[in-house]
Amino acid sequence: MEVRARAPGKIILAGEHAVVHGSTAVAAAIDLYTYVSVRFPTPSDNDDAIKIHLKDLALELSWPVGKIAEVLPELGSNAASSPRSSSLESSKAIASLIEDQNIPEANIGITSGISAFLWLYTSIHGNKPAKIVVTSELPLGSGLGSSAAFCVALSAALLALSDSGKLDFSHQGWQMFGDTELELVNKWAFEGEKIIHGKPSGIDNTVSTYGNMIKFRCGELTRIKTNMPLKMLITNTKVGRNTKALVASVSERTLRHSTTMASVFNAVDSISNELAAIIQSPVSDDLAITEKEEKIGELMEMNQGLLQCMGVGHSSIETVIRTTVKYKLSTKLTGAGGGGCVLTLLPTLLSGTVVDKVTAELESSGFHCLIAGIGGRGMEISFSGFS
């Protein structure tokens, strides 16, 4: 049997980092996806290994099922319906399984993703042989939630092949899970994110699972309904960074300056709530849209200032801000910061010529610009098209 799942990346419009400390954040799915295919070999394939092929990185890893059973203490088939965290013992065993693979130094960042894979796979399917293929349209480690999209797509594909997946196998094309299954996917993906991020808020896996635009606080999501056309230019500074390290650095600053940081997080909470209220309020005409866009731009700038206070800025982000401000456009980082991707609000009445000019100027600084669809579909599953 074989299945393919896809899960979207995301942008955070307001509230990254502060959301880890209990503030509200606003996020939206984008139409760039990570795809995960899972196939169990037939007995005639005579294949006794768990294999993962990361196509974009041209990396193929393989573990004999006997080796997995030997080192992993918590092999859990029939555990699919109760997501759990990796124990210290399992984490050590997984680290030893990865060490044996001699991953090239250039791809060493992928280790946490592979750890998450081994935890999710073995928790849901034990040491059953399988071939997993992963591709992604998302840049990895750039703030667009590739880690969550990977964990969500992986969890979805694995659960679809477990007893917990109550799906129509004859359905052609992409189909959605029901609410109970979506909740389970989200919980497993959160366990994967914990392995990659250390202390995730859960916003990335939640928006990747459910799609749309959401307000998120302390594990609770509220769907944002809007008829406002929001357009963002996403600039990838191509400066590599690591969410786990940045989240940890904000927590350290919070320990050093707890009262002050509480005020910063409080201010971010207000920004996110105001932003969500503006986006949700009905739009009547162009004038109303322009007024709203001005307010959203201002809130983005305020949020950027507070992210700076948290210590997650970067000179490349400053360069994007300096460039876009010349065109009177508002910009903030998205995701963990420290480089990565930056959002610039493109007002509805902004001419295409200005968009072209600002894009050309940003790209001449070595950045990569893109405009993605915002607020689209969450994770989906398909039983055709396995390659």
Ligand X SMILES: Nc1ncnc2c1ncn2[C@@H]1O[C@H](COP(=O)(O)OP(=O)(O)O)[C@@H](O)[C@H]1O
Of 113 and 129, which CB lies nearer to ligand PMV in the complex structure?
113
- Which of residues 63, 119, 150, 190 is near ligand X by CB under 6 A? 150
Q: How far is the CB of 294 from ligand X (least distance, A)?
A: 29
- Which of residues 2, 16, 137, 181 is near ligand PMV by CB under 6 A? 16
Q: What mask of x and - would describe binding to ligand PMV in positions 256 to 275, judged by CB under 6 A? A: --------------------
Choosing among ligand PMV, ligand X, Mg ion, none, which partner's interface includes residue 190 (Cβ < 5 to 8 Å by kind)? none
Choosing among Mg ion, ligand PMV, ligand X, none, which partner's interface includes residue 242 (Cβ < 5 to 8 Å by kind)? ligand X
Q: What mask of x and - would describe binding to ligand X in positions 60 to 99, judged by CB under 6 A? A: ----------------------------------------
143 near ligand PMV, rule: CB under 6 A: yes
Sites for ligand PMV among residues 292-351 (CB under 6 A): 335-336
Of 204 and 293, which CB lies nearer to Mg ion in the complex structure?
204
Sites for ligand X among residues 230-269 (CB under 6 A): 242-243
212 near Mg ion, rule: CB under 5 A: no
Choosing among Mg ion, ligand X, ligand PMV, none, which partner's interface includes residue 110 (Cβ < 5 to 8 Å by kind)? ligand X
206 near Mg ion, rule: CB under 5 A: no
Q: Do residues 151 and 116 lie in contact, with contact meaning Cβ atoms separated by under 8 Å?
A: yes
For residue 64, the cross-strand partners are 49
Of 83 and 337, which CB lies nearer to ligand X in the complex structure?
337
Sites for ligand PMV among residues 220-259 (CB under 6 A): 243, 247
243 near Mg ion, rule: CB under 5 A: yes
Q: What are phi and psi of 8, to 5 degrees?
A: -85, 160
SS3 for the chain is CEEEEEEEEEEEEECCCHHHHCCCEEEEEEEEEEEEEEECCCHHHCCCEEEEEEHHHCEEEEEEHHHHHHHCCCCCCCCCCCCCCCCHHHHHHHHHHHHCCCCCHHHHHHHHHHHHHHHHHHHHHCCCCEEEEEEECCCCCCCCCHHHHHHHHHHHHHHHCCCCCCCCCCCCCCECCCHHHHHHHHHHHHHHHHHHHCCCCCHHHHHHHHCCEEEEECCEEEECCCCCCCCEEEEECCCCCCHHHHHHHHHHHHHHCHHHHHHHHHHHHHHHHHHHHHHHCCCCCHHHHHHHHHHHHHHHHHHHHHHHHHCCCCHHHHHHHHHHHCCCCCEEECCCCCCCEEEEECCCCCCHHHHHHHHHHHHHCCCEEECCCECCCCCEEECCCCC
382 near Mg ion, rule: CB under 5 A: no
142 near Mg ion, rule: CB under 5 A: no
- Which of residues 18, 140, 152, 369 is near ligand X by CB under 6 A? 140
Q: Answer yes or no: 204 catalytic.
A: yes
Tell me the pairing of strands 49-54 and 130-136.
parallel
Of 127 and 334, which CB lies nearer to ligand X in the complex structure?
334
Catalytic residue among 56, 204, 286, 356: 204
- Taking the C-alpha atoms of residue 41 and residue 94, their distance in angstroms, rounded to an integer, is 23
204 near ligand PMV, rule: CB under 6 A: yes
- Which of residues 136, 201, 208, 324 is near ligand X by CB under 6 A? 136
137 near ligand PMV, rule: CB under 6 A: no
20 near ligand PMV, rule: CB under 6 A: yes
- Which of residues 34, 112, 147, 212 is near Mg ion by CB under 5 A? 147
327, 316, 4, 308: which is closest to 142 by C-alpha?
316
Positions touching ligand X (CB under 6 A) are 34, 54, 109-110, 112-113, 134, 136, 140-147, 150, 196-197, 242-243, 335
**Enzyme catalytic residues:** 204
